[in-house]
């Protein structure tokens, strides 16, 4: 069929991989240091990859190509997610972390890790886990912990933490988060995001997940500036 589809100029491509990360359908991959459209039927023709390219090596063209196959894209995403969760890799295994109770001092409180579960990446987190029951959930953009100095004390402490980057991760978090909220007795949601526009994706994913879960959960959104302050 004749339709709009992306075209990648491999000579202009600088191999940064930003387009592959921006392509939520997984149509683009890196081959020999260059971006390449691997599956034409995975390209929806919407062009999320275009603004991600720093050298303008991607454009639209209208030509004969297979129709966009949404079912195949969803199946590929589910297969990839299942493989990540069941590969046996120790880094992806779900675990609660028990920390000894210690007397609090200002110094100890600021240096002691407050993380109480693993994994923390949204894409690796299990949909069902004992530590989600009764939990106050923190959904955070991964840059927030680097920008805000007391992130463990002020945000992770007392919460179950899940992190991700909506710009770089090639998946929509809303579906996974909705399954976690629907399948567990989560009490509240806190979203920590950066002030940059692309970080709005993690806030919107959290809000969509709460709506899709069918639960009336309190949701607090905290925006952190690039110089490490909380924006009021």
Q: Which residue has the tokens 């989560």?
A: 186
What backbone phi and psi angles, to 5 degrees, belong to 213? -70, -20
- pLDDT over 70 percentage in the chain: 86
CA distance 126 to 118: 10
Question: Over the chain (232 residues), what is each successive 10-residue block's mean pLDDT?
Answer: 93 88 88 90 91 91 93 86 56 59 54 90 90 96 94 96 87 89 96 92 93 94 94 75
Q: By three-state DSSP, how is residue 82 classified?
A: helix
CA distance 152 to 4: 46
C-beta neighbour count of 19 within 10 angstroms: 26
CA distance 52 to 70: 22
β-pair partners for 7: 59
Q: Are 76 and 42 in contact (CB under 8 A)?
A: yes
Give this prediction's pTM: 0.59
CA distance 51 to 147: 25
135 burial type by CB count under 10 A (0-12 exposed, 13-18 middle, 19+ buried): buried
For residue 18, the model assigns a pLDDT of 85
For residue 198, the model assigns a pLDDT of 84
């Amino acid at each position: 069929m004749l339709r709009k589809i992306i075209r990648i100029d491999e000579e202009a491509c600088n191999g940064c991989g930003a387009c592959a990360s921006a392509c939520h359908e997984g149509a683009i991959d890196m081959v020999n240091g260059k971006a390449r459209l691997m599956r034409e039927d995975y390209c929806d023709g919407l062009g999320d990859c275009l603004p991600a390219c720093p050298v303008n090596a991607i454009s639209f063209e209208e030509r004969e190509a297979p129709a966009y196959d949404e079912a195949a894209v969803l199946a590929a995403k589910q297969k990839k997610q299942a493989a990540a969760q069941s590969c046996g890799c120790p880094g992806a295994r779900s675990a609660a972390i028990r920390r000894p109770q210690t007397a609090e001092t200002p110094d100890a409180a600021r240096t002691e890790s407050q993380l109480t579960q693993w994994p923390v990446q949204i894409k690796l987190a299990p949909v069902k886990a004992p530590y989600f029951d009764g939990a106050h959930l923190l959904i955070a953009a991964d840059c927030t912990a680097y920008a805000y100095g007391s992130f463990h004390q002020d945000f992770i402490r007392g919460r179950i933490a899940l992190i991700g980057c909506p710009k770089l991760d090639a998946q929509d978090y809303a579906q996974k988060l909705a399954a976690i909220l629907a399948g567990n007795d989560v009490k509240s949601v806190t979203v920590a995001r950066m002030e940059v526009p692309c970080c709005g994706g993690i806030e919107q994913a959290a809000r969509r997940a709460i709506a899709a879960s069918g639960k009336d959960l309190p949701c607090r959104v905290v925006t952190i500036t690039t110089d490490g302050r909380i924006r009021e």
